């Protein structure tokens, strides 16, 4: 039986972050309509969106004064290389850790895979190739941060959940962003 390759930690890889920010539509009183603004933040490390060093132009484009108030979908994209001996008998599990956000979709080499938030693991077995591979992870936040930015009347309310967990001094409590991404190879063996 051939040896399985070592785990590949992609956490510190070069990740590009494109944020699809959800904000109020033209009629701010209609919560069913959102304006979606796309801003490319280039190469970013994992972590809270509030820690992104956004320019004044980017903040203006997003319609906020601070990254703390951005809600939406973040597309994290990286490219990594697998060895030449990678074959159809080699697969890999993608393990993703994140905070209170949700993984919406994982795309590997152009193939979109549904994410199951009951598990932090996705089998990429049939989608990886030897050489260059491109991975995109879509992370969705709640809209609480944007709600703070556009309507201070929501501050301190518990929104019917009875927990009082949303306090005005801590609107970032919902956002952790991506924390780590690893690829754990496995070898498939036919049992006879």
Pick the CATH number of 8-187 from 2.60.120.260, 1.10.3080.10, 3.40.50.2300, 3.20.20.80: 2.60.120.260
- Range in 23-37, 161-175, 176-190 the model is least confident about: 161-175
Render pLDDT for 16-54 as a digit per residue (tens, 0 to 9).
999 999 888 777 677 678 889 999 999 999 988 889 999
Say what the pTM is: 0.84
User: Tens digit of pLDDT for each residue in 105-156?
Assistant: 999 999 999 887 778 899 998 899 999 999 999 998 877 666 666 665 555 5
Report the distance separating Cα 184 and Cα 41, nearest Å. Answer: 28
Q: How far apart are CA 52 and CA 69, in angstroms?
A: 12
Which parts of the chain fold into alpha helices (H)? 56-62, 144-150
Residue 123 burial (CB count, 10 A): 12
């Amino acid at each position: 039986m051939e040896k399985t390759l070592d785990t590949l930690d992609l956490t510190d890889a070069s990740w590009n972050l494109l944020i699809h920010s959800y904000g109020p539509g033209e009629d701010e009183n209609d919560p069913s309509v959102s304006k979606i603004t796309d801003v490319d933040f280039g190469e970013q490390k994992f972590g809270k969106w509030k820690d992104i060093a956004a320019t004044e132009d980017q903040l203006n484009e997003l319609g906020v004064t601070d990254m703390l108030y951005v809600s939406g979908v973040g597309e994290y994209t990286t490219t990594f290389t697998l060895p030449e001996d990678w074959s159809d008998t080699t697969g890999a599990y993608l393990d993703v850790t994140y905070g209170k956000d949700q993984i919406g979709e994982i795309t590997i080499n152009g193939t979109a895979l549904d994410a199951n938030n009951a598990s932090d693991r996705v089998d990429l077995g049939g989608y990886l190739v030897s050489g260059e591979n491109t991975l995109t992870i879509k992370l969705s936040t709640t809209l609480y941060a944007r709600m703070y930015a556009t309507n201070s009347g929501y501050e301190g309310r518990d929104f019917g959940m009875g927990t009082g967990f949303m306090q005005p001094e801590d609107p970032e409590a919902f956002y952790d962003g991506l924390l780590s991404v690893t690829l754990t190879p496995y070898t498939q063996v036919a049992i006879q």
